[in-house]
Structure 1
Amino acid sequence: MASKMASDELDEEFLTCQVCMLHFRDPKILPCLHTFCKVCLEEWATKQQPLECSICRIPVSLLEQGVDGLKTNFYVNNLLDFVAAKKGAEPGVPCQVCEGNVEGSKSWCADCGVLLCESCTAMHRKIPGTRDHELVPQDVMTAKDGADRFQRKRHCDKHKNQELVFYCESCNALVCTACTVIDHRPGKDHNPVEITTIAQKKKEKLQELLQDMDPRLKEVQASIDEVDKNMSKLIPSKEEATTQAKAYFRQLADLLEKREEEILRQIDEQCRADGKALQAKKEAIEFELAGLTSAQTFCQQAVEHGSDVHVLEVGNQVQTRVESLLAKELDLESNWNEFQFIESTSVADFAEKVKNLGDLGSVIDVTKCQVVVKPAVEGFQCIAVLTTLNQIGRPSVTESIAAKANMKDPSGASLQTQLQMTSGAVWEISYVPKVTGNHRLEVKVNSKEVAGSPFDIEVQSRHTPVLTMGQQGSGVGELDMPAGVVVDQDGNIAVVEQRNKRVQIFDLNTGHSLRTFPVEGKLPYDIDVDSYGRFLVTSFGNNYRVRCYSKEGKLLNTFSPGCMKQPLGITVLKDGRMVVADISEQSCFLLQYDGSLIREIGKGKLQKPRFTAVDESRGMIFVTDYTFNKVFVFDLEGEFKFSFGEKGEGEGQFRSPMGITLDRAGNIIVVNYESGRVQVFRPDGTFIRTVMTVKGKCPHGITLTPDGYIAVACSKGQCIEMYRYN
């Protein structure tokens, strides 16, 4: 105890077990220093394993003795004795020995644990077996510091009449005088010391700990005060933020309403202007109609009812009038188009932008902030993505000056970095490494390093894959003869495995397998994704087909037009049409979204077409021909445009071209099956550069990721390799 407890300050709660809510019965102390009745703990232990403190929820590991192995709280026992003795010393309470003498002062025997009247106290002092017992008079029990002076003596479990007055340091046990003669005789194995000496040392140590706890208590209390302070600000802060948010979005809504009114006004004004123009047009046409009708009526009357003399008199005049009317060029077109509202920004695009309108700024917790490091390649712009989060792990916006990034190259020299907020609490850290090797990126928010900082980034050569997915096998994350590859609608890598007859989806950033689903067909080959996120998979050999699967891998449809024999490469257009290369038919087929044939393309030009790519903006189809070592180019109408490439190892030459894809500029990326070279050509077929040489064996399909990496399916390397493209 840090201070003495007055006899009138005893709290019933301090003496009450928090389980049974009664006065403690044989109180036991848990390692967390909370006290409970022995019987309560024993019952509790039968219901819960491991045992937990019901107050602080700290697990308790019981020894072999179970609850009996826990220390007894003798201080609480003394207090219980004191309360009982104090109550017994009140007037009208009989002596606990003679059961009489309710009047007069009483004493408490600390050895026997009983309350004695004056007569029994005198007798107690005369009997040889009790004359040395410690008796506590009534004035001590009623004194303010009586609780601290009231101590029941502890006796030896083995020698019942012996008080515990020694402490064996070797055994860490309290012993009596008899024990020091028999079981704990001083020597090399035992070292009994008077309790007073050891207790004083322990008190001094505990006093030091108490002094050490004071600053910690102040720190914890200050933290509680800070939490209370923040709690008091919680509702006002919420109300202020709510008011600001409502005002902000009300302004945005007002802008939208204003724009709506402006468009509606334009429609009204255009309607009035068009109405006037159409009315004037109508009147002009009606005027011409009236002239024609009048001339027609006059001419008809002359023909049907006029005499010969009358016809001859007016015939020339009528003829001239009618011929002039018929020869007159009339503008009979209304030249009016229906009103058409144009969505300059689609609702879907606007919905994406709306996600970045406003945000909740709160205290950034650097221990919760996340940094995702993208694969880094020498000489290319590389990025890491920082997401700032608050204490509960939610995205939280911070000012640009609060986020800092510093990078060191392998020599320790600084490398320039740039930070740019891409959306809300997401920051893009960009840099261009000049050398390969380990670089170190330090990221700070509000001058504190985020969790995991500094980050070690291994910068690779452009000819080294930044990420390799898979190895040979049929398990999760393993591949067997990967062929076609594509980026799915969620930005992950989907690959077709010929021998495992399945599609496997990999996380683009980590390379971890996310899921697989089986596909039909003897030899599945290529894969593409339509605008709805569905997978289109080709297969050749027996049971050849083009099959459509849902994002989850459920078979939705099967296409097998009569013209198709051995489909390989496939490209799906935005409107659902498909371009399929057929190695058996030595041509490509342009199919409707339902699989029906639109036209055959390349017949007589192609010999062994493998993979296809389509530039929809220019209406061009690109086809790799494995035998001719060329890329053939056709338009969507099926007309041959040109071809490029020849057999060889030089620039612009091919050794069995396979996978083909396009970049955003329309440049053509082609991988060679035999040499593994990946080359880039302009849309007209002019060679630009060699990107790299694939390390894995026998590359097949390739695809370009949105963030500028080439994914190559290596059929005999049993992996997918990722290389930096731009």
Structure 2
Amino acid sequence: MAAASSIADDFDDEFLTCALCLDLYEDPKLLPCFHTLCKRCVEGFANISGGRGFQCPLCRANVKLPCPVQLGGVDKLPSNFYVNKMLDFRRLKLSKLSHVQCQMCKSGARALAVCGDCTLMLCNNCVGVHRNTPALQGHAIITLGDLENPAMRSQYARQIYCPRHPGQRTTFYCEPCATLVCRDCTVDEHRPGQKHDPREVEKVAPKYRASVEGLMKKTEEVVSKINQKVANLDKELTATAENCEQVEKEVQQHYKKLRSKLKQEEQRMIIKIQKTNKDRKEELIHEKKEMEKELEDTNEGLAFCQNILDRDNKTELLSLRQQMEERLKHFASRQTGNRSFIGHAEVTFKPSSLYQVSGGSLSVSTGFTIEINVQEPAVESLPCSVSVTVTTNNADLTGGKVAPQIEVTSPQGKTTLIQTTAHTSPPLAAGKGQTSRVSRVWGAEWRPQQSGKHTLGVCMGGKKDLCSLTVDVCSNNPILSFGQRGSQQGQFDRPIDVAVRGDRLYVADTWNQRVQVFDLIGKFCHSFPTDDPEGLAVQTDGTIVVKSGKEVKKFSPSGKLLHKFPLGEYCAYPYGLTVQRDGRVVVADPDKHSIFLFEADGTLVKQVGGQGEGEGQFNEPCFVCVHKEDNIIVADKLNHRVQAFDRNLNYKHKFGQYGSQPQDMFGPHGVSADSRGNIVLANRGDNSDVGGIEHGRKLQVFRPDGTWVSTISSDGDKLNLPHGVAVTEDGHVFVSDTGDHCIRKYRYM
């Protein structure tokens, strides 16, 4: 039985007919392949096959029963909720055409309703009894008049009752056992503990709905790949037919000149061509049918799951959850690849001299196939591997002389060309008289710069679109986000800066007048008080350096004050700071548009800056960091650029400009550098109250020389007001968001 697309008003008999016995379903059972058969049909097939399993007669999928038929194995298969519901509707509709008697009171009165709990046809009096009897008031009843109301039809559903406790609905779901249970079960066989965790159906169903939806998305990607392969097979069929038709014409023209001598040879050649066409056609049609069958099975499975989700019957969802997940995982795990047949099998004709009776020779070249694959999943701003495999019998094609290129087309239609490098050595040429198919693999690194559907096409030897693959790039959303506005442990009030040292994350919780310390998965460790912490850095020995009000304070790892020195003599509004390896402290002052360098004891070494756009001038710099060689990196906020200085504050170079492109800057704020020299920058964006990259709120990654690498937009969890950033050695970055009073963690390398 194929899945129905919607509730049919006429309750189609064909839909409610078992495909095996051709009668209306009796106790319909749902198989793991989503096909439905009568219980007695399933038992018959299982008994013939030994009692423990059988092949579905509709799709040949293997069905394994939970236990032998004799022990109730067929009874343990789930019933088809929807078919039972439609059968009830059909019975109720037929009562309008014939005198169907009430099955409850045996009074002979005409039945005008059906009860989904009792599974009985009811007269009006018995409907009233149901609704006025406390023990029956919760039963699902639909009347003949309700059949005309789609809303009432959707609310009606048969209920599942506990086999151990008669009369008890299964309103709980035990997750470890993957079983629907009743209230009484939760206090005996499924009492909460190490092996059992019963939860209310209403609370647990949304989690498994999300799981099914995720698996459906992966399965839909398989469907897309199958469709692409079917399209390539259609192209191959057309190309083969056109090629053979053209060559047949060449043969006919040639043999017209040799008609008197070569009539017999002409016919032999044509027969050979037609046989080539026939053989190749049969091969392609067979493969196409296999793909179409696979596509049909997959689409049926998706349609069935979608119907379950559309009906939103939580009991039905949980009853079928395991079966649906196993089937969808089976679909999603199919390896279809994305093989191309553009280099089709080509027939060529080489005529001989008109004076030779043989007339010519016919050769068939097998062409080449191309396959492109992308390491899943593809995520915005992160590198992923792309491989191109070429299989051919032409040694030159795989010998390194012709390397494929990959043309990437973004969702907006912008194209980028990626060069590939050989991953395997050139194959040895076949010996004399030998023919062999050889393969070679090329690879490339692709770093998608935005989310959405991208098309990857293979170009080679002057030919384009030899093979293509559609890849849905995910947004680079945070892998961790924690904190909310408040004053409790793990809560924040406008956190301005962050720092990382080893396995600890330090947060300047500014308006809560404290520094909080966490591990790298967001678990609270401890905190210590200090006035107005804004800038924050940690020395290699674990000393925590904080810009606290108009002072620089140094604390031990446990939060004990060790030393402090004043800034008021030099700075108007000190903000961010960083520390060099020898203990010297660098402070940014956005009011004075300057950067200050102090000795570890607070002695001023140098001041650079002043408001302006020239080299070494600034416009409200807020954050600084030190590079791996103690070079000083300054986020020059309102000049929308970054300036680099050596360890003694001598100007070196600058990069960046204002704009709306991914590589452009918009109010660069927090800045941090990793041990490889990469610079990670947080852009504050415009002054609107709306977050997201469309308002300039984004993270950027640059090489030490200022070459733009990537931009993180975080579409799924938009940045609101990003401030400080701190990188880890495993390619992650923490961002303090003062607008959302939280800390987010992203992968950037």
Q: TM-score, normalised by structure 1?
A: 0.36
Of the two, which has the highest radius of gyration? 1
Which structure's relative contact order is higher, taking Cα pairs within 8 Å and 6+ residues apart?
2
